[in-house]
Chain A
Amino acid sequence: AQSVAQPEDQVNVAEGNPLTVKCTYSVSGNPYLFWYVQYPNRGLQFLLKYITGDNLVKGSYGFEAEFNKSQTSFHLKKPSALVSDSALYFCAVRDRVGRRALTFGSGTRLQVQP
């Protein structure tokens, strides 16, 4: 079975400071990894994904994530946070074989203070 852990329910950061949202995963084989963002009462928007290749993945809105196989982590980062980044962030994983549906973490609420 595959699983995702987002250990922080909420992350608070001041505008202009770097941010990190943590994610660790467990799958039986090699993973596909994803980050999505959700604004209130909306669906999820895709931010970035790791499929293969470079461990540092760059995505939408200046976000990036680093795949670390030895630590089974895929932390989301941004060098300089904006107030508009405040939202709910989900990490997701799927195995390279088996069902195409994603397994999601419980979500981390990012609050950026002006």
Chain B
Amino acid sequence: DGGITQSPKYLFRKEGQNVTLSCEQNLNHDAMYWYRQDPGQGLRLIYYSQIVNDFQKGDIAEGYSVSREKKESFPLTVTSAQKNPTAFYLCASSPPPERVTYNEQFFGPGTRLTVL
């Protein structure tokens, strides 16, 4: 988990509220990703960003939004439009092409979101 921080670790939300999950990395990685993990379904890609000020929808983007104003930060907002947001959310980053570890992704410790 080193170098990628996610906060908070646990988050509780009432129905109808938007919440923002934080992801910060100090690894000087260019690409960042958000995944959602549900039991028995593995990880599914929500959004990803290859460079600052640019991001693309993943496989399950509906009800989520992101921004990438800084290289180090990639916050995820879970909006009230997300019908079933209770899940474990994982942020990841990967280094630029000149690094040996270019093809790897490095994961943060995750945020567990529960809708009350």
Binary interface profile of B, 24-65, with partner A (CB < 8 Å = 1, else 0)?
000000010101000011111100101000001010000000
A49 in the interface (beta carbon within 8 A): yes
Q: Do A104 and B43 touch (CB < 8 A)?
A: yes
Bound-complex Cα distance A78 to B48 (A)? 33
Q: Do B48 and A46 touch (CB < 8 A)?
A: no
Q: Do B94 and A43 touch (CB < 8 A)?
A: no
A51 in the interface (beta carbon within 8 A): yes
- The residue that B107 contacts in the complex, of A4, A44, A103, with Cβ under 8 A, is A44
A-B contact count (CB 8 A): 62
Chain B binding surface SS class: strand
Shortest distance in angstroms between A33's beta carbon and chain B's nearest beta carbon? 10
Residues of B contacting A4 with CB < 8 Å?
42
B103 in the interface (beta carbon within 8 A): yes
Residues of A contacting B112 with CB < 8 Å?
41
Q: Do A99 and B56 touch (CB < 8 A)?
A: yes
Q: Do B106 and A46 touch (CB < 8 A)?
A: yes
A102 in the interface (beta carbon within 8 A): yes
Q: A34-B104, A100-B48 are in contact. Are A43 and B109 (CB under 8 A)?
A: yes
Interface pairs A-B: 6 shortest CB-CB:
A43-B107, A104-B42, A104-B43, A106-B42, A44-B107, A43-B109
B positions within 8 Å CB-CB of A: 1, 4, 6, 31, 33, 35, 40-45, 48, 50, 56, 58, 88, 90, 92, 94, 103-110, 112
Q: Beyond the given A34-B104, A43-B90, could you list 12 further A-B residue pairs with CB under 8 A, ordered by the A residue number?
A: A42-B1, A43-B4, A43-B109, A44-B43, A44-B92, A44-B107, A46-B104, A49-B104, A100-B31, A100-B50, A102-B45, A104-B42
